[in-house]
Amino acid sequence: MVILLHIFDPQMVTIIDGKSLAQKLRRKIKEEVSKYLDSGNRAPHLAAILVGEDGASRTYVASKERDCDFVGFDSTVHRLPVDTSENELLDLIDSINSNDNIDGLIVQLPLPKHMDTSKVTDAIAPKIDVDGFHPVNVGRLTKNEDTYISATPFGIIMMLEEYGIETIGKHCVVIGRSNIVGRPMSILMSRGGYPGDSTVTICHRNTENLISHTSVADIVIVAVGIPHFLKGDMVKKGAVVIDVGITRVDADNAKGYELRGDADFNSLVNKCTAITPVPGGVGPMTRYGLLHNTLKSYKRKLNL
């Protein structure tokens, strides 16, 4: 009886399974790479630079290395001490830019405080800027030209498409205006075609009466880095919630921490038509996005 009630409930929620989708898409990349290798080509190669000892960044870079390994990419990680000078870092970027066998380069953010993040990311050659952070690639994104779309926004677009989430003519509220997520996300959701063509509102720390925006949104994308920031009473019934947050909070387990999203899943889940969990939602799709962009650069370089 309970099952029947669920079948006929128009508000039945879809939990968007980013983990499974990313696995499926990663396998596709692996198959494609294996064809290129069989035809005698070199493997795609991603280089990453990690400066300092930030625990979360170390974990992210290690998982990027594992992902490369899984799909058959080569990877090189340059782990630099926290007191590396900005010039040393820029020299390393220059040398990687001119290495023709490297298809993608990322500098893991955040950087130590003595470094100028824009100066560093602007030093990466646009053609291997698989994070899509260089002004040339950001410019192309805003003009709807072919580019590297940053991994998280790209992963979210792929999820919306795979799950057939309606976006055309819908009201999308993006909370957070970072260069990595909020801003590119707002551009993608407002561009013509599917997934996109939404009416987009971008909210941030100075937005007055945030709830007046979120409570009328069909889609809420939350990227503020504050655990459980978005609560059930802030969205309308039937909303789609995409949770970009992954904050480590202390926990009494073997790792000593657990991951919390920006959305308070428990209070939202019964109000939404679709929601991404944390972990297992946006995170794995971000990792997929980087592989996708690296493969794209490789294929461009080798004319495949």
Binding ligand GUN by CB under 6 A: which of 131, 218, 262, 264? Answer: 131
- Shortest distance in whole angstroms from residue 130 CB to ligand GUN: 9
Q: Which residues are catalytic?
A: 64, 108, 131
Of the pair 110, 238, the CB lying nearest ligand GUN is at: 110
Q: Does 51 bind ligand GUN (CB under 6 A)?
A: no
Binding ligand GUN by CB under 6 A: which of 75, 84, 108, 276? Answer: 108
Residue type, 298: Y
Stretch binding ligand GUN (CB under 6 A), from 103-111, 201-209, 216-224, 241-249: 103-111
Put residue 71 in one of left, alpha, beta given phi > 0 → left and psi -120 to 50 → alpha: alpha
Of the pair 109, 268, the CB lying nearest ligand GUN is at: 109
**Residues facing 49 on adjacent strands:** 78, 107
What 128-132 contacts at long range (C-beta under 8 Å, 24+ apart), as own/partner pairs, is: 128/96, 128/97, 128/102, 128/103, 128/104, 128/297, 129/105, 130/46, 130/103, 130/104, 130/105, 130/106, 130/290, 130/293, 130/294, 130/296, 130/297, 131/106, 131/107, 131/290, 131/293, 132/184, 132/293
Q: Does 180 bind ligand GUN (CB under 6 A)?
A: yes
Stretch binding ligand GUN (CB under 6 A), from 16-24, 93-101, 106-114, 235-243: 106-114
Binding ligand GUN by CB under 6 A: which of 102, 106, 156, 189? Answer: 106
Contacts to ligand GUN from residues 144-163, by CB under 6 A: 151-152
Stretch binding ligand GUN (CB under 6 A), from 100-108, 162-170, 233-241, 265-273: 100-108
Q: 259-288 mask for ligand GUN (x: CB under 6 A)?
A: ------------------------------
Comparing CA positions, the residue from 219, 162, 164 lying closest to residue 23 is 162
Tokens of 163: 């799950």
Query: What does the H/E/C string look like for 133-172?
Result: CCHHHHHHHHCCCCCCCCHHHHHHHHHHHHCCCCCCCCEE
Of the pair 218, 262, the CB lying nearest ligand GUN is at: 262
- State which residue has the least CB distance to ligand GUN: 109
Of the pair 104, 232, the CB lying nearest ligand GUN is at: 104
Put residue 237 in one of left, alpha, beta given phi > 0 → left and psi -120 to 50 → alpha: beta
Binding site for ligand GUN (CB under 6 A): 106-109, 131, 151-152, 180
